[in-house]
Amino acid sequence: MSHLIKRFKEDLQLAGYAKRSVDSYASAVLRLQRFYNKPLEDITEEQLRQYWLCCQNEFGWSAATLRISYSGIQHFFYQNAGSILEYFQQHQMEA
C-alpha cells in the first residue's frame, strides 16, 4: 500500500469515518490505480470519467457502487490536492 493510501485511510479514521467506509473509499482509490496501472497523479480528468463509464457499462456497477467509488476518489484527491478540480487543473497545465 502506498504512503498516500495509508495516510488517506488514517485521515478518514481521524475524521470519524466508520471502518467499512474507510475500507470502501481506500478500495475505490486502489481499484482506479490498478485499472490504469500508473500513479494516481498521472490520471487525467477524462481518464477518470472514462473509468466510471467503463465501470457502469462494462462491469455493470450499480448507481450505489458508483457513488461509493466517486466519493472515495473525490475524498482522496481533496485531501491530497486541496480539491479535485484544483488537482486536475494543476496537472493539465503541466501536461
Share of the chain above pLDDT 70, in %: 83
Q: Express each pLDDT in 51-61 by its tens digit.
A: 999 999 999 99
- Residue 12 and residue 72 in contact, taking contact as beta carbons nearer than 8 Å: no
Q: Express each pLDDT in 48-92 by its tens digit.
A: 999 999 999 999 999 999 999 999 999 998 887 655 556 556 655
Which one, of 45, 36, 38, lies nearest residue 2 by Cα? 38
Q: Express each pLDDT in 20-46 by its tens digit.
A: 999 999 999 999 999 999 988 888 889
Is CATH 3.30.465.10 what the domain over 3-94 is classified as, yes or no?
A: no
